[in-house]
Amino acid sequence: MNKIKNKDIQAVPTLLSLDTSTEACSVALQYQGQVTEAFETGIRHSEIILSMIEKILIDNGLVVSQLDCITFGRGPGMFTGLRIGAGVVQGIAFAADLPVLPVSSLAILAQGQKSNKVMTALDARMNQVYWGLFEKDNQGLARPCIDEQVISPEAIQLPESLGWSGAGSGWDQYGDMLVRVTGTHLDNWQANQFPCARHILPIANALYNSGKQVDADQAIPVYLRDNVAVKRSG
């Protein structure tokens, strides 16, 4: 667990953030101008997420009732991980009467990249990716350029401009194909990049300060697929 001085965060709300949308499981706490984070990889989200939250609060001398809001990666991503994350957020938020802020997992992924223009792709299985295009605004916040899609790598929507970077498990899985399809639009892509809870916080701050928080029952996963019970063969 690391404490990171975040100069981009104006220390107003005390926020707990979490993301379980991919193979990575992460929790972060924004409190008094600092961000404390915990990050693990491996499909053990249901086993570790509550203990990660408990530890990060105890280490900062906080209890849940002292939070202003809980924010989380609402998807798209792994179905099981999204259900776990949403369930945990709803449980805590209902119990403590806290508002929530759902944030796109693709936007979180883009927010964590150094590039200002990011082609995000998460592996959606079945030879598809969750695809999004994001540009950072003057405040450094990742803003969507298109609607998020679940689509085959060959059919992705391309940006009009050049100078983009790629990130996400979809690039790890289908890198050669995506490089071929994106062509001159792509400058580079980064391997082993995941949505991370601490990268939710800049986006969540802007949403919170704009009054965009919602009730706990709105902590709902976004799958992008209509049929979330599709079984994989093999």
Where do the domains of the chain lie, and which CATH numbers do they carry?
2-104+195-218 (3.30.420.40), 106-190 (3.30.420.40)
Paired with 40 in beta bridges are 25
Place of tokens 């059919």: 155
Rg of the chain taking only CA atoms, in angstroms:
17
What confidence tier does 226 reach under pLDDT thresholds 50, 70, 90? low
Distances (CA, A) of 170 to 15, 59, 63, 140, 164: 29, 35, 37, 24, 16
What confidence tier does 117 reach under pLDDT thresholds 50, 70, 90? very high
On the question of pLDDT at 93 being above 70, the answer is yes
Q: Tell me the pLDDT of the chain averaged across its residues.
A: 93
As a whole-number percent, the residues of the chain with pLDDT over 70 amount to 91
- The three-class DSSP label of residue 165 is strand
Q: Quote the pTM value.
A: 0.91
- HSE-up of 135 (CA within 13 Å, CB side)? 10
Contact (Cβ atoms closer than 8 angstroms) between residue 38 and residue 54: no
